[in-house]
A and B are shown apart, each in its own frame.
Chain A
Amino acid sequence: MSDLLPLRDMDERELQREKRLDDIRREAERRGKLEVVSTRPSGAPFPQASPESGYYGIPLLKQPPWTWEIPLYFFVGGAAGAAAVIGAIADYTGADRELVQHARWIAAAGSVISPALLISDLGRPERFLAMLRVFKPQSPMSVGVWTLLGFSSGAAAAAFAGFLRERYGPSLPLKVLENAGQAASLAFGLPFSNYTGVLIGATAIPVWNHNAGDLPLHFGASGLGAGVGILELLGHGKSRALQALGLGAAIFESWEGVRIEGRSHYHLDPLKHGLSGVITRTGGALSGPIPALLRIASLWGPARRKSSLRRWASLSAIAGSLITRVAWVHAGHVSARNWRLPLQERTSEALSKKLDRVAEQA
């Protein structure tokens, strides 16, 4: 022993490594093969690389670096964009003034919260303005930032001018500002409520780009459901127009759920299995069938039951919209971690269905 150097003090991290090596050794002795973390390609005396498992099953794609702000931004943007459209149309068609005001305030709140969320997610928030040095039609992020800028300016201007008008009385400049702001919030609110679907659809993440043609419609309906829900909770639970819009959004979301569940393709697995599958289905149920049934049930019966059912439908749609956005982002992470997906030849869903049928018959 005397010719051995004395063991130096080991810190916590080194102890952890020693322990992990001991664990791996014990596992190998006990079972003859290893399945502990980072020796995943199991069943061999050494981890192997192969066409099936790729390079030791190390994910080829990088996961999105976005934090919690992004799904929340998707939710706020969707609801605010839909609220701006509802507010403007309600104003043009001469609906309840209070409804117009509330819709405007929701849009204005979104116009402040959305940029704050987007900026705080940046790696370098102080460089947000670098986004505004170019406009790139081929980059959904660039198009989205300019849409956000137009929407935020319009929605904030309309709400602010409306506030001043009510406080200090009408004047021409205020009227011009209010109307121009409202028109801008309508024009930009239409794409703003659903562009986030394009944003994640046009990426290299398999589960997202496989749904590139569905995501904007899905996110648009989700945003409409949430926008209508917030308006109803603010005291517009008797509006027939809102009822119709909420019902439409819920039915569309139900159909979207059927579409996701009805297709079988390995790219869609994160939406159906595991934790991300549970979140997706929870979000889908809360934004689709549950509010749809509640709203249909609220068409009949005494007034108190009606308003109670509509309140529950609104709450459900709002929660469903938020959970749906979280679910899609989470599914993207799961999809990026799956090393098998990008290594498979890209087959169309029709072809893979056909192959499945052939395999069943054989």
Chain B
Amino acid sequence: MSVTAFLTDSTLCIGCKACEVACKEWNGVSEDGLEWSGFSYDNTGAVGASTWRHVKFVEQPPVPGFGGNVGEQTSWTFSSDVCKHCEQAGCLEACPTGSIVRTEFGGVFIQPDVCNGCGYCVTACPFGVVERNQKDGRAFKCTFCYDRQKVGLQPACAKACPTESIKFGEIEGLRREAQGRVEELHRRGMDDAVIYDPLDSSVEGTHAFFIVRGDPRSYNLPPTPEVPTVYLKNSWRSSAIAAGLLLGGTLLAFLSDGTRQNGRGR
């Protein structure tokens, strides 16, 4: 089976949230976003345990020409966020139960029947995607519709997207498509269109890349995500030094203690 990916093109997104609904329906994810947030038309805020697809409503200061406006109205763009399915996935490496696995399609999948809710993957995700469901106790995130992919269907969100803003397909073809799309956007005068796919960070690229206009940080996409395994070497070295100091120090302290009794007294 080929390795697959999502390409989410925010220049085509109309903010209809059909992907959110389709995801919830197919995967049986519980309701949320029922409190007014005050942030545009977004009451969910971020992807989480009960939001595996999340449409961001990005309001920015007026930019003349941006989205065809004359410089008086707010620039308004939408972008459907999702688990990035990193090539080097922090959650997968951190999971102590082996519940999180890489599927044959290249996605990162939490096996719900193994997860025991330790929550370590939550702290390991550089994109803040994985979250523990408070009622259920286990960690949840986008499954990349593993069940649908297994039988040759595309993920529910991509299928439901009415503008093909969410594209799904074989990863290399999709990367080329993203490149072509950005070049086309540049030709049409949208110079600020960029691909977000952190290939040069320790995450080594994702299986869900995005086309956004302007600075990806406005979309809460971190410029340099790091997979936490990069800190391991330094940290274990420190641990080994600490253990050595404890052993050596204790030996020294007791050997130089003149008051100790001789003989083991057993």
Chain A residues engaging chain B, CB cutoff 8 angstroms: 17, 21, 24, 38-39, 44, 46-52, 54-56, 58-66, 82, 85-86, 89-91, 93-97, 121-125, 127-128, 130-131, 133-134, 136, 138-142, 144-145, 170, 190-191, 193-195, 197-205, 208-209, 212-217, 219-221, 224, 238-242, 244-245, 248, 332, 339, 342-346
B149 close to A (CB within 8 Å): no
Contacting pair B218 A201 (CB below 8 A): no
Within 8 A of A (CB), among B132-168: 132-133, 136-139
Given A139-B95, A204-B228, A342-B222, does the pair A191, B243 have CB atoms closer than 8 Å? yes
Given A64-B123, A123-B137, does the pair A48, B59 have CB atoms closer than 8 Å? yes
**Contact partners of B234 in chain A: CB under 8 A:** 201, 212-213
Given A203-B124, A213-B237, does the pair A139, B246 have CB atoms closer than 8 Å? no
Q: Which residue of A lies closest to B257 (CB)?
A: A241
Distance in angstroms between the alpha carbons of A96 and B265 in the assembled complex: 9
Distance in angstroms between the alpha carbons of A20 and B46 in the assembled complex: 22
- Give chain A nearest CB distance to B183 CB in angstroms: 24
Q: Which residue of B lies closest to A210 (CB)?
A: B231
**Contact partners of B265 in chain A: CB under 8 A:** 94, 97
Partner of A202, one of B48, B130, B232, B259: B232
Partner of A124, one of B35, B137, B224, B239: B137
Partner of A64, one of B58, B119, B253, B256: B119
Contacting pair A62 B128 (CB below 8 A): yes
The count of residues in chain B whose C-beta lies closer than 8 Å to any C-beta of chain A is: 91
B28 close to A (CB within 8 Å): no
- Give chain A nearest CB distance to B30 CB in angstroms: 15
**Contact partners of A97 in chain B: CB under 8 A:** 261, 265
Distance in angstroms between the alpha carbons of A91 and B46 in the assembled complex: 56
Given A217-B242, A239-B257, A239-B259, does the pair A136, B247 have CB atoms closer than 8 Å? no
- Give chain B nearest CB distance to A205 CB in angstroms: 6
**Contact partners of A127 in chain B: CB under 8 A:** 97, 114-117
List, sorted by A's number, 10 A–B pairs whose CB atoms are closer than 8 Å.
A49-B59, A62-B128, A94-B263, A123-B137, A130-B116, A139-B120, A202-B124, A204-B225, A204-B228, A213-B237
Contacting pair A89 B116 (CB below 8 A): no
Contacting pair B238 A217 (CB below 8 A): yes
Q: A200-B123, A205-B123 are in contact. List 16 more A-B contacts (CB 8 A).
A: A61-B125, A62-B48, A62-B122, A64-B122, A93-B255, A94-B260, A94-B262, A96-B261, A123-B136, A131-B96, A140-B232, A198-B232, A203-B228, A212-B238, A213-B237, A343-B223
Contacting pair A342 B260 (CB below 8 A): no
B61 close to A (CB within 8 Å): yes
- Give chain B nearest CB distance to A120 CB in angstroms: 11
Partner of A89, one of B35, B74, B115, B250: B250
Within 8 A of A (CB), among B84-126: 90, 93-99, 114-120, 122-126
B16 close to A (CB within 8 Å): no
Given A47-B40, A48-B60, A141-B118, does the pair A94, B261 have CB atoms closer than 8 Å? yes
Distance in angstroms between the alpha carbons of A197 and B237 in the assembled complex: 11
**Contact partners of A125 in chain B: CB under 8 A:** 116
B173 close to A (CB within 8 Å): no
**Contact partners of B237 in chain A: CB under 8 A:** 213
**Contact partners of B250 in chain A: CB under 8 A:** 85-86, 89, 241, 245
**Contact partners of A212 in chain B: CB under 8 A:** 231, 234-235, 238
Contacting pair B97 A49 (CB below 8 A): no
**Contact partners of A332 in chain B: CB under 8 A:** 123
Distance in angstroms between the alpha carbons of A128 and B117 in the assembled complex: 9
**Contact partners of B254 in chain A: CB under 8 A:** 89-90, 93, 95, 241
B66 close to A (CB within 8 Å): no
Distance in angstroms between the alpha carbons of A331 and B194 in the assembled complex: 35
Distance in angstroms between the alpha carbons of A86 and B253 in the assembled complex: 10
Contacting pair B60 A50 (CB below 8 A): yes
**Contact partners of B127 in chain A: CB under 8 A:** 60
Q: Which residue of A lies closest to B48 (CB)?
A: A62
Contacting pair B120 A141 (CB below 8 A): yes
Q: Which residue of B lies closest to A94 (CB)?
A: B264
B179 close to A (CB within 8 Å): no
B45 close to A (CB within 8 Å): yes
**Contact partners of A56 in chain B: CB under 8 A:** 39-40
Contacting pair A345 B98 (CB below 8 A): no
- Give chain B nearest CB distance to A11 CB in angstroms: 14
Contacting pair B131 A62 (CB below 8 A): yes
Contacting pair A131 B259 (CB below 8 A): no
Partner of B125, one of A62, A93, A209, A219: A62
Distance in angstroms between the alpha carbons of A63 and B234 in the assembled complex: 23
Distance in angstroms between the alpha carbons of A138 and B252 in the assembled complex: 33
**Contact partners of B263 in chain A: CB under 8 A:** 94
Contacting pair B74 A46 (CB below 8 A): yes
Given A86-B250, A133-B97, A190-B246, does the pair A204, B125 have CB atoms closer than 8 Å? yes
Contacting pair A130 B99 (CB below 8 A): yes
- Give chain A nearest CB distance to B50 CB in angstroms: 13
B258 close to A (CB within 8 Å): yes
Contacting pair B253 A124 (CB below 8 A): no
**Contact partners of B232 in chain A: CB under 8 A:** 138, 140, 198, 202
**Contact partners of A219 in chain B: CB under 8 A:** 242
B53 close to A (CB within 8 Å): no
**Contact partners of A199 in chain B: CB under 8 A:** 120
- Give chain A nearest CB distance to B74 CB in angstroms: 6
**Contact partners of B218 in chain A: CB under 8 A:** 49-51, 54-55
